[in-house]
Amino acid sequence: MEKLITMKTLPAEEQPYEKCVDQGPEVLSDAELLSVILRCGSQGCTSLQLAKEVLKLCRFEEGLTGIHHLSLQQLQELKGIGQVKAVQIKCIGELSKRIAKTEAKRVLDFKEPESIAHYYMETLRHEEQEHVICMMLDTKNHFLGDICLTKGTVNTSLISPRELFLEALAFHAVHLILVHNHPSGDPSPSAEDIQVTRRIARAGALLGITLLDHIVIGGQNYVSLFEAGIFNER
């Protein structure tokens, strides 16, 4: 009869928890990190094996970042993953996004498109639909707040200039920056992106509200329509 393998039967240096205690979390693989969170597996399956099965479900992105694309239902289809563990896994993904955004906020510079892109990248690059976010600033470029204007389909998201400027006026904003994602991973602005940007810039000029930039985020890349010269071709 084949001997049942459990985490306790493995050498201490191969057990993720003990390995973390002895060498630190940075030496753990993605599967080992996840297995520490899962703590236990199922009958005939160690937490490490279960963690590897979870990561196999991540088809859009490899490793832990792929967790963002997994639903609770998908996770619970794995033997050994109930609702509690599925929620824990999803919370790990959300926690990672918030930590990344907090770190990016510390160096956020509204004059630097790269800084703005990095601030929203970890939030938007995992989304499977387009999200359009409007950042609102005062006369001295102090951050007043942001709002998600629309959540579109996989291919397009419609921006309502009327809704945008109502929000801007409510915040007493005088400068705006638009940010949206392309689920395809290609940040190249579409003809519609360019058209809408120019229309909003013209409408804002009439209201005394300046559109400073429109940043499109792909996977790990972005395009600033201001840097691309789109604003100079109105």
pLDDT tens digits for range 140-154: 888 898 999 888 765
Distance separating alpha carbons of residues 20 and 39, to the nearest angstrom: 13
Neighbours of 70 (CB within 10 A): 20
How many domains is the chain partitioned into structurally? 2
* Contact assessment for residue 141 and residue 111, using Cβ atoms and an 8 Å cutoff: yes
Distance separating alpha carbons of residues 43 and 127, to the nearest angstrom: 35
Which of 100, 131, 146 is the C-terminal boundary of a domain?
A: 100
Which residue in this structure is represented by tokens 């969170």?
37
- 214 in the same domain as 172: yes
CA geometry: angle at 93 spanning 92 and 97, to 5°?
115
Distance separating alpha carbons of residues 218 and 200, to the nearest angstrom: 22
- 113 in the same domain as 227: yes
Please check whether residue 2 lies inside any domain of the structure. no
| Rg of the chain in Å (alpha carbons) | 22
Hey, what amino acid is at 111?
K
Check residue 213 and give its pLDDT. Answer: 95
Give exposure, 28-41, as e/b (b: 16+ Cβ within 10 Å). Answer: bbbbbbbbbebeeb
Query: What pTM was computed for the model?
Result: 0.66
Give exposure, 176-185, as e/b (b: 16+ Cβ within 10 Å). Answer: bbbbbbbbee
- 200 in the same domain as 117: yes
pLDDT tens for each residue of the chain, 234 residues long: 344 456 566 666 678 888 888 888 888 888 888 888 888 777 678 888 888 888 888 776 667 777 877 889 999 998 889 998 899 888 888 888 788 777 767 767 788 999 899 889 878 877 888 999 999 999 988 889 899 988 876 555 667 788 899 999 999 999 999 999 998 889 999 998 998 899 999 999 999 999 999 999 998 899 999 999 887 655
Domain hosting residue 62, numbered range: 7-100
